[in-house]
Structure 1
Amino acid sequence: MELLSPREIAVFALSLLDLTNLRDDCDAAAIETLCKRAQTPFGTAAAICIWPRFVAQARAILGAGHAVRIATVVNFPSGNLPVAEVVAETHKAVADGADDIDLVIPYQGFLAGDEASVSDMVAAVRAACPKSCLKVILETGEIKDSGKIRRASELAIAAGADFIKTSTGKVAVNATLEAADIMLQAIRDSRKNVGFKPAGGISTVSDADLYLRLAGTILGPDWLMPSTFRFGASSLLDDILSVAAGGASSAKSSGY
């Protein structure tokens, strides 16, 4: 990537941000706040990412064709629901106004050797939302093994993922640069137009910059845009706004 100032990095990261509230205590008031926070003096977030039960409310607030997309989650966070139930979740989310579907693979089955469970789940949800952006969550912190992360990436891409995403943010280990490196190389080697979304634990502009630089090194700086790169984060916006306004980072880097 070309050398950017911290403020330029912050504004760029904002344009790639899926501003997330997947807290267990999320309510209607929190969704109203999230929709407002996604629209800042420095531009808008790429999307908000919310529980399916709030999609219709968010669509009513933002309206059709809004610059801020609405992402929601299915088979989340456990990854162990039956395919038919996940397909039904997906149909309902799309009908309620979701633009993006973030799907958790059946990673426990995958770890037990059932690769077909991943392919079948992704393909079924792909068919259920043909016009939506499908982001497939691997839960790399639970998969752990580099070879298995690579294989899960390949399976998701082959079955129709528009993005591959590291994590739910609900386990002990979420996004890491090590997992990102493996996933980005899988995207490069697939020669398909697939995006990447690191999620969980990214809370500062300096953290975000590390992922942007890694992606730019592997796939080229021109590849970095909202259609191919998103950050999944709930607290990153605070640091983005502080740095974009010319202030200091509001949080310490995670050290990844």
Structure 2
Amino acid sequence: MKQMNEADQQLARQAIGLLDLTSLSGDDDAERIIALCQRAQTPFGPVAAVCVFPRFVALARRTLDSLGGQAIRVATVVNFPHGGANVASVVAETLEAIDAGANEVDLVYPYRSLLMGDAQTGLSMVAACRDTCAGRARLKVILETGELRDPQMIRQASQDAIAAGADFLKTSTGKVLVNATEQAVRIMLEAIAERGGLVGLKAAGGIRTFDDARTYIELARSRFGTAWINADHMRLGASGLLDELLAQLECPVGGEA
């Protein structure tokens, strides 16, 4: 593995601080979640958040706190992964997750409803979850852009989610064939720009390499500038990316590992 130059080292450190370190596998157990939380504190600084299923929120919070990681957020997912249309059920799920200690809620937007011509369900669901999260948790809305596919659909979902009160727009669940793409992120960034850059962006799904991280950070930087690139505005959702970033940063200077 070739040694990174100084600029790449700085970018890799920045990417760690933007990372939502994620474990959303069907066979997740307590041991895996504890190990995830232990990895969240790195020699190069903490990740932004750990993202786990709702049933592991309380465990993740306790584990992080016991390790001195009080500043690391606990994120969870609701209406996941299929993006159903039952607003009341999703609100109940959101409230339960916040009561368990979630700092951030990643809500799957009811994208199938939009594809069938129903925009109101998405507006209502995001607004209801926004009210539930108000003052207690950050709301990140997963648009599932790979399923929406059409640029105009991605634009409408982005605009509607922002209008209904999303704090972040997120590309994907990582559970479908097409996840984060440069095209989708460009459309989402434009919708965010239309509202003054006040809403954040989370690129997630298929982000595994340093070059993937660089691509999405640079897209956001080119749109909003360097100062915008922080954990309040930009996230990278991934499970395997941290290992690559650490391997790159820990490579001995002037040689190969």
TM-score bracket, shorter-length normalisation: over 0.9
Equivalent residue, structure 1, for 2:224? 219
Q: Are 1:166 and 1:174, in contact at CA under 8 Å, matched by a contact in 2?
A: yes
| Deviating more after overlay: 109-118 vs 213-222 | 213-222
Structure 1 runs not aligned, ≥5 long: 249-256
In structure 1, the partner of 2:213 is 208
TM-superposed CA distance for 1:4, in Å, is 5.9
Q: Is the Cα contact below 8 Å between 1:8 and 1:244 reproduced in 2?
A: no
Q: Determine the structure 2 residue equivalent to 1:252.
A: none
Cross-structure match for 1:168: 173
Q: Distance in 2 between matches of 1:105 and 1:142?
A: 11
Where do residues 51-70 of structure 1 align in structure 2 (5 Å cutoff)? Answer: 51-63=53-65, 66-70=70-74
Tell me which of 92, 101, 108 is aligned to 2:96.
Answer: 92
Provide the residue aligned with 1:108 in structure 2: 112
Contact kept? 2:85, 2:121, Cα under 8 Å: no
Q: Is the 8 A contact 2:91 2:132 kept in 1?
A: yes
Task: Count the aligned residue pairs.
Answer: 246
What amino acid sits opposite 2:121 in the alignment?
S
- The equivalent of 2:163 in structure 1 is 158
Match of 1:198 among 200, 203, 209: 203
Structure 1 residue 192: Cα displacement: 4.9
Per-residue deviation at 1:6? 1.7
Deviation at 1:191, TM superposition (A): 1.6
Question: Are residues 1:50 and 2:55 paired?
Answer: no
Query: Does the Cα contact within 8 Å between 1:7 and 1:245 map onto a contact in 2?
Result: no
Q: How far is the alpha carbon of 1:218 from its aligned partner?
A: 1.1
Residue 24 of structure 2 corresponds to residue 19 of structure 1:
no
Q: Distance in 2 between matches of 1:223 and 1:236?
A: 22
| CA distance in 2 between partners of 1:150 and 1:4 (Å) | 37
Cα distance in 2 between the residues matched to 1:210 and 1:130: 32
When the two structures are superposed, what TM-score results if normalisation uses the length of structure 1? 0.93
Please report the RMSD computed on the Cα atoms of aligned residues, expressed in angstroms: 1.5
Name the counterpart of 1:251: none
CA distance in 2, matches of 1:151, 1:219: 21
Residue 149 of structure 2 is matched in structure 1 by: 144
Q: How far 1:205 moved relative to its partner?
A: 1.1
Pairing 1:125–2:129 present: yes
Give me the whole-angstrom Cα distance separating, in 2, the residues matched to 1:204 and 1:243.
10
Where in structure 2 are there 5+ consecutive unaligned residues? none
String of CA shifts for 1:12-54, please: whole Å, max 9, x gaps: 0000000000011100000000000111111110000000000
SS of corresponding position for 1:90? helix
- CA distance in structure 2 between the aligned counterparts of 1:59 and 1:211, rounded to whole angstroms: 28
Query: CA–CA distance in 1 between the matches of 2:218 and 2:86?
Result: 38
Q: Could you tell me how far apart the structure 2 residues matched to 1:212 and 1:221 are?
A: 10
Letter in 2 for 1:197: K
Q: Secondary structure at the match of 2:234?
A: coil
Residue matched to 1:185 = 190
Structure 1 residue ranges, 4+ long, deviating more than 4 angstroms after superposition: none
- Residue of 7, 10, 17 corresponding to 1:8: 10
TM-score (norm 2): 0.93
Deviation at 1:246, TM superposition (A): 3.0
